[in-house]
Amino acid sequence: MDSEVLSAPEALHISKVAVGCASIATLARRQQARVADGIVPLVTRFRPKRADELIGGSVYWIVKHKLAARQTILGFDVRASDRKTIIQLDPELVPVRGLPRRAHQGWRYLAHADAPTDLSGEEDLAELPMDLAAKLTALGLI
């Protein structure tokens, strides 16, 4: 397996739909079953053309048509059995301020300037239902 791990100060990000997940908690449970050696593997058919810019960036997960959480991209690997690309993710899911986002297939690049801010340090807020958190954010209360 070829593996590389680098870092970038203002890395590029990607967004991806958390298919079938109604909440961040559901996504976390699914990923816990796949963690190996402290890394969550995200399998994709092809290596992103801008992979070097993505290392140190994040995957922003879309849940219920909102960017809801992110995970840091640690590196890339190749699965030996079928040569598919594995995006290596940090297992920590960081809740973010929900921004509306349409569902899409695969992943899409997300510029650093367009990425939502973290809700980290506000653990109680991360437990709120997404709809309520979105309303409170819209009112400027969180």
Strand-pair partners of 36? 39
Which bin fits 74, alpha (ψ -120 to 50), beta or left (φ > 0)? alpha
The domain segmentation of the chain, as residue ranges, is 3-138
pLDDT tens across 106-141, in order?
999 999 999 999 986 555 565 677 777 767 766 555
CA distances from 25 to 9, 18, 50, 112 (A): 29, 11, 30, 25
Q: What is the pLDDT confidence band of residue 55, given thresholds at 50, 70 and 90?
A: very high
